[in-house]
Structure formats: C-alpha cells, structure tokens
Amino acid sequence: MAHYAVRESPPLRGEIPISTSKNAVLPIMCGALLTREDVRIEHPPDLTDVHTLRSLMEACGCRTHCEQDALILNASCLKNPQDEEDVRKMRASVLVLGPLLARLGEARIPLPGGCAIGQRPIDQHLKGMSALGARVAFDHGGVTLTGCLRGAVIYLDMPSVGATENLLMAATLAKGTTRIENAAKEPEIVDLAAFLSSMGAKIAGAGTSTITIEGVSELHGTSWQPIADRIEAGTMACACAITGGELLLRGARAEHLRSLLFKLSEAGVHIKDTPGGLMVFGRAKQPFEIRTMVYPGFPTDLQAPMMAVACKTPGTSVFLETIFENRFMHAAELARLGAHIRVENRVSVVEGTPYLTGAPVRATDLRAGAALILAGLCAEGETLVDDEAGHIDRGYCHIEDKLCAVGGNIVRL
Ligand code: UD1
C-alpha cells in the first residue's frame, strides 16, 4: 500500500540506473527449481513481486538467501506447495508449473482468476503441458498435472510470453525433442533460454517463433545476471518526453526498445544510444499512433506511460490495445487531471491539452499507476496517486527516489 504526492516538475536532468528486469527475473527464479544445485541471481530488483515469488519458492521447498547483491536459490528438496494461497498471490506464479511437473512428475496450482486488465486464461500453458504428456485434471478451483514428460511439437494459438516460458522450462527435462511453434519472442524469453542453457539445457531458436529444446536428464547450478528492465527504462523515457530535459537511462538497451524509440522519435523526442545506456532529450511535440503488439511490436506495458505523454502533446494521438481486453482504466483517471480522452472498446483517442491540473487519482494496475505519476509531473499543483493495492511497488524499484534524483517532485506518503 502506498500513496504518492506528485507536483509539477522542472525538466528532468541526470542519470537513472535501470534495475534488473522484473519480467526476466520472475521466470528465471522459477527456472531455479529445475536443478538440485545452487542458482545465483545477480542484482535482483527490490520489488514486491520478487519477494512474493521468493516466498512461493520457499513454499516449494527451495532454500533461499541473499549474499552481497545476489539471491541464491537451492531446490534440492523440491515439493509442491501445500498452501494454495502462496500461489494465488501473484499471476506469474503459474510459472512454477513447468519446473514442478518436470522434476516431480506432478504439479498442482489454483487456477488464476481474471485480473484488472483482462481475463488472462492459462489454456495455452495447459495445452502445451498436455502435448508433452501431462494429464490435466481440474478440481476444487485448481489444476493438477501429472505424468512423465516426453518431447512433442506444440503450436501456441497466440505467442503467449508466460506459456512459452513455462513450456520451455518443462521441455528442458522432457525425454526427447520439443518444438514450440508460434513462440513468443520477447527479450525476457531469450534471457530465460540463455539462463537455462547456462544450466546445461539444449535450446535453439529463442527469440524466433520456433524454439527447439532437446531434453537432458538433469540441469546444474549457475550464476546469472538477468537483463535490464526495458519497461522501467521505457517508462523513464516517457517521463523525459513529458517534462523535457535530458536523461541517461543507465544500462537500458536500445535493441530491446526499438518500437518505443521509433514512436518517441516520431513525437520529436531525441534518442541517442551510448555504451552506458540510452540518452533521451527533449519533450514530445507531435502526436503519434500506437498499436500494442507482441514483440518486436509496441509493448502493451508501455501503452499507459505513452498515454500520459499524449495527454499534453499537441494534436490527436490514437491508441489501439490488441493484447489485453481491459487495459485503458488509466484513461478515466488521466481525465480527472484534465486530459481529453475518448475510449471505444480497444481504441483510445487523446486530444493533447496544454494544461493538466493535479487531482486525487487511483492506480488501477501497475503500469497505470506509473502513468499517473508521470502525468502528475506535468500537472499544475498536486496529484495524489492512491495505490492502495501497492501495484507500483510490484514492478518499479523505488520509483519516487529515481525520479527525485533527476529533479522530479514526488513524495511517498
Ligand atoms: C507477460 C508479462 C506482462 C506483459 C505480457 C504481454 C511477465 C511476468 N508478465 O504476461 O507484463 O503485459 O506478457 O506482453 O512477464 N493468453 C491466453 N491464454 C494463455 C496465455 C495467454 O489467452 O494461456 C492471452 C492473455 O489473456 C493475453 C495475451 O494472451 O490477452 C498475452 O498474454 P501473455 O503473453 O501470456 O502475458 P503474460 O505472460 O501473462
């Protein structure tokens, strides 16, 4: 639970260190369940999602401790978690399914319900596990998978990030060869595959739509530094596009953010790729059109931050959300600050306005919360962001400290 008071801020100037990627670390932590040996994850981000998953790892019999700036996991005594509440706390915990099944021959999790941004079913995860030979049984609101996994050809109906990761992990210990077709291509998948390969897995094609995995009998321990968080970096680039100024996003990688960088350039923001990270200069001056898509298309997770940019950018910007069915809830909150936004199903039309004024608003989900903080940076007076559910801390490491360090006017209450 957190509340933020944000005031209109001068152009942001300075350097923001980009944290290790949340969406890379979570599957990598689950991947640690695939071996009996120690897995060391360097610089894990200080996020509630990471802490929650760590407790779930412990409920799976995994020993965990921190050493310098690393998280060490050891799953030599792996078991299914007894208390389903541990799994239910976060969506990404569905990613324990593949490793538990691959190592124990049995896995049970409660079925995740819908969430604020959409229904988010796991049918593709289950379809893939079933193709690998698992029996799938539903009872009492949960799903139990049992069986000894054998390599298979799996076609995903849509390139789901989570399903690709879950199946990739399960297939590393399956007997024979698995091919995942229409796989997701996100950088976090490439990082997970590289991490698993460093444990002895045999994987080819990660980052393309066909991934081939040759099962091995066991995996060994490793030490891994996951990639920098492209969504945090993209959010901070949006902050710069809102206030103007000049930011160095230390550690951010341009090749993971091409779609956003093209859009910011179209809006008149200058970008420079340097060895230390991405430099972003100046304010957005022209409107833009965004269609969220799977990677390398525009990430749905940056749709809300870009909508905050559009609110004060002169002209008409258009957003089409194709990944999640209900991901415009921030539009109504941005409207409370004076933004002109019309939402029709999956389309939002934003008419840039020269003035936003501070108001109390509510963070409806993680990225929506970040978007409201960004909008508060360019709204006259005070914007009070109520994040009762603690969404922002799930995915942004100390967002107020990072923004304050470059001149943002924001206080956690
Ligand atoms: C991951 C990211 C999340 C990001 C999303 C899309 C993590 C921890 N989270 O979520 O930040 O917004 O990718 O880039 O990495 N779907 C099905 N059936 C399935 C699986 C997915 O219908 O079995 C649908 C979902 O409802 C959604 C779409 O496919 O509409 C994309 O979901 P998916 O790629 O699986 O997202 P996540 O892995 O949950």
pLDDT, one tens digit per residue, over 193-226 is: 999 999 999 999 999 999 999 999 999 999 999 9
Query: Which pTM was predicted?
Result: 0.97
Catalytic residues: 115
- What is the β-pairing status of strands 347-351 and 360-362? unpaired
358 Cα–ligand 1 center, Å: 33
Q: Which two tokens stand for residue 123?
A: 């049918």
**Best residue for ligand 1 mutational test, from 120, 303, 321 (most atoms within 8 Å of Cβ):** 120
Is residue 349 predicted with pLDDT exceeding 90?
yes
Distance of alpha carbon 379 from alpha carbon 358, whole angstroms: 5
**Residue 76, C-beta contacts closer than 8 angstroms, at least 6 positions apart:** 36, 37, 63
Nearest atom, ligand 1, residue 165 CA: 38
Which helix (H) or strand (E) segment holds residue 25: the answer is helix 22-31
Q: What percent of the chain has pLDDT over 90?
A: 92
Report helix, strand or coil for 174. Answer: coil
Q: What's the pLDDT at 140?
A: 84
- The per-residue pLDDT for range 309-343, each reduced to its tens digit, is 999 999 999 999 999 988 999 999 999 999 999 99
Torsion angle (degrees, nearest 10) of CA 189, 195, 198, 199: -110
Q: What's the pLDDT at 326?
A: 84
Distance of alpha carbon 171 from alpha carbon 159, whole angstroms: 17
Nearest to 401 by CA among 232, 279, 242: 232
**Best residue for ligand 1 mutational test, from 122, 160, 294 (most atoms within 8 Å of Cβ):** 160
43 Cα–ligand 1 center, Å: 25
Which helix (H) or strand (E) segment holds residue 304: the answer is helix 303-312
Nearest atom, ligand 1, residue 26 CA: 8
162 Cα–ligand 1 center, Å: 6
163 Cα–ligand 1 center, Å: 8
pLDDT band at 114 (very low <50, low <70, confident <90, very high): low
Distance of alpha carbon 270 from alpha carbon 174, whole angstroms: 48
Closest residue (by CA) to atom 8 of ligand 1?
23
Distance of alpha carbon 226 from alpha carbon 224, whole angstroms: 6
Closest residue (by CA) to atom 39 of ligand 1?
162
Rounded to the nearest angstrom, the gap between the alpha carbon of residue 161 and the centroid of all alpha carbons in its chain is 10
**Beta-bridge partner residues of 384:** 5, 360
pLDDT band at 141 (very low <50, low <70, confident <90, very high): confident
Report helix, strand or coil for 76. Answer: coil
* Other CB atoms within 10 A of residue 177 CB: 15
Distance of alpha carbon 200 from alpha carbon 271, whole angstroms: 38
Distance of alpha carbon 255 from alpha carbon 372, whole angstroms: 27
- The per-residue pLDDT for range 41-91, each reduced to its tens digit, is 999 999 999 999 999 999 999 999 999 999 999 999 999 988 777 777 788
Nearest atom, ligand 1, residue 120 CA: 26
Is residue 390 predicted with pLDDT exceeding 90?
yes
Nearest atom, ligand 1, residue 119 CA: 26
Nearest atom, ligand 1, residue 92 CA: 8
Q: Which two tokens stand for residue 13?
A: 């100037």
274 Cα–ligand 1 center, Å: 31
Closest residue (by CA) to atom 32 of ligand 1?
160
**Residue 121, C-beta contacts closer than 8 angstroms, at least 6 positions apart:** none
- The per-residue pLDDT for range 231-290, each reduced to its tens digit, is 999 999 999 999 999 999 999 999 999 999 999 999 999 999 999 999 999 999 999 999
- The per-residue pLDDT for range 154-165, each reduced to its tens digit, is 999 999 999 999
Angstrom CA distances, 225 to 69, 195, 261, 279, stand at 11, 9, 25, 23
Q: Which two tokens stand for residue 209?
A: 């739509």
Per the rule left: phi > 0, alpha: psi between -120 and 50, beta: everything else, 68 is left
Closest residue (by CA) to atom 11 of ligand 1?
301
Pocket of ligand 1 (CB under 6 A): 23, 26, 92, 118-125, 158, 160-163, 184, 188, 299-301, 323-324
**Best residue for ligand 1 mutational test, from 291, 323, 365 (most atoms within 8 Å of Cβ):** 323
259 Cα–ligand 1 center, Å: 19
* Amino acid found at 286: Q
